[in-house]
C-alpha cells in the first residue's frame, strides 16, 4: 500500500536550502518515490496557518518511505533541510485500491 510524506516548511535560509532541493530528487527516486507536490501555490482552506512550502512524496509502501528517510543517501540533505528550515513532516499510509 502506498505511503506518503507530507512536509510543511518555512525556509529560513533560501541560499543554503537550494542545495537540499538539488540533492533530494535522486534520493527519493532511489527508494521508488515520486514527488506529487513540490512547493507549488498553497491555499489554506481550513485550520491553522500553513507553512509557505508544502511537499508531498509518494512511496510504494511505508517500509520504503522509512528506509529513504533513515538512509545514508538522504542524511546529507536532511541535515541541510533541518538547518535551513522550520516545519513538520508526517508519514501516512494510503488506502487500498477499491
- Which domains does the chain carry? 3-93 (3.30.70.100)
Say how far apart CA 34 and CA 60 lie, in whole Å.
9
What is the pTM assigned to this prediction? 0.91
Say how far apart CA 69 and CA 6 lie, in whole Å.
12
pLDDT above 90 for 8: yes
| Contacts for 87 with CB less than 8 Å, ≥ 6 apart | 7, 8, 9, 10, 51, 53
Q: In this predicted model, what pLDDT tens digit does every residue of 27-55 receive, in sequence order?
A: 999 999 999 999 888 888 898 877 889 99
Amino acid at each position: 500500500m502506498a505511503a506518503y510524506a507530507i512536509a510543511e516548511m518555512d525556509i529560513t535560509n533560501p541560499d543554503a536550502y537550494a542545495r537540499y532541493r538539488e540533492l533530494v530528487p535522486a534520493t527519493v527516486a532511489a527508494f521508488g518515490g515520486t514527488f506529487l507536490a513540490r512547493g507549488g501555490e498553497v491555499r489554506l482552506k481550513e485550520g491553522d496557518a500553513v507553512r509557505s512550502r508544502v511537499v508531498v512524496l509518494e512511496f510504494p509502501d511505508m517500509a520504503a518511505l522509512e528506509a529513504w528517510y533513515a538512509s545514508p543517501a538522504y542524511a546529507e540533505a536532511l541535515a541541510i533541510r533541518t538547518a535551513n528550515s522550520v516545519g513538520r513532516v508526517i508519514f501516512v499510509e494510503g488506502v487500498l485500491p477499491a
